[in-house]
Chain A
Amino acid sequence: SYVLTQPPSLSVDPGETARISCGGNGLETRSVHWYQQKPGHAPLLVIYSDRDRPSGVPGRFSGSSSGNTATLIISRVEVEDEADYYCQVYDSSSDWVFGGGTKLTVV
């Protein structure tokens, strides 16, 4: 089955840039989506198709993908960005696949 690998945790200071990675074989051939989940809430799509941002998502959120790694970039991090972040792809053999999630702490 297809596997997406994320770092379990990341800590950044307010105002800094957070970069959350997501690794997977042949990732460059797949569309990567990113979700933000705050405690007690449903996931929220923040980036789709590697780098596109749904309406309503702040411009501080962006995405990139190269080779076997996709990256969610949060610029000028705010305290409200503290959450769990998940990457996701569709794989023809495994169907929808989520990464293990990264807990972003804004210290």
Chain B
Amino acid sequence: EVQLEQSGAEVKKPGESLRISCKGSGYTFSDYWISWVRQLPGKGLEWMARIDASDSYSLYSPSFEGHVTVSVDRSINKAYLQWGSLNTSDTALYFCARHSVTTSYGMGVWGQGTMVTVSS
């Protein structure tokens, strides 16, 4: 079964750093891209960034560039989303999703989501 398994919920203070993960299984990890999607409480979906798992080439939404970093570790089939310094406004549910380089197929596999709470 093709799956993306995300790391558990996090509670952090403003200014702290954080890295959350997304582990792929049931498929060849390097054959796909991984995107990260944010969902603020009670709000819609926002695309943040994507990374080619084959070579770590990444692209960012202007809304998030410089505030987050995406990476992959192909040896353990994991993708990561990290923050160097969290803000309270980063409190949200974060999803990873798998898609191909061909944009015609959408995002067919999603992780279960990681809730990040940033509060002093």
List residues of A whose CB falls within 8 A of some B CB: 1, 31, 33, 35, 37, 42-45, 48-49, 54, 84, 86, 88, 90, 94-101
The reply to whether A45 and B95 contact each other, CB–CB distance below 8 Å, is: no
Alpha-carbon distance A33/B59, docked complex (angstroms)? 20
CB-defined contacts of A43 to chain B, threshold 8 Å: 37, 45, 95, 97, 107, 110
Q: Can you spell out 29 A-B residue pairs with CB atoms less than 8 angstroms apart?
A: A31-B103, A31-B104, A33-B107, A35-B106, A35-B107, A42-B110, A43-B37, A43-B95, A43-B107, A45-B107, A45-B108, A48-B104, A48-B105, A48-B106, A48-B108, A49-B104, A54-B108, A84-B44, A88-B45, A88-B106, A88-B107, A95-B47, A96-B47, A96-B50, A97-B47, A98-B45, A98-B46, A100-B44, A101-B45
Residues of chain B contacted by A1 (CB below 8 angstroms): 62
Chain B residues with a Cβ under 8 A of chain A: 35, 37, 44-47, 50, 59, 61-62, 95, 97, 103-108, 110-113
* Residues in B neighbouring A49, C-beta threshold 8 A: 104-106
Instruction: State how many angstroms separate the Cβ of A2 from the closest Cβ of chain B.
Output: 11
The 8 closest A-B pairs by CB, nearest first: A33-B106, A90-B103, A96-B47, A42-B110, A48-B106, A101-B44, A98-B45, A31-B104
B21 to chain A minimum Cβ distance, whole angstroms, is 16
Cα of A30 to Cα of B113 in the assembled complex, Å: 28
Q: How far is the CA of A88 from the CA of B35 in the complex (A)?
A: 13
Chain A positions within 8 Å of B105 at CB level = 33, 48-49
Which residues of chain B are within 8 angstroms of A33 by Cβ–Cβ distance?
105-107
| B-chain residues with CB within 8 Å of residue A31 when the two chains form the complex | 103-104, 106
Query: What separation, in Å, do the CA atoms of A31 and B100 have in the docked complex?
Result: 14
Nearest chain A CB to B52 CB, angstrom units: 13
Nearest-neighbour CB distance to chain A for B120, whole angstroms, equals 26
Whether the Cβ atoms of A95 and B108 lie closer than 8 Å is: no
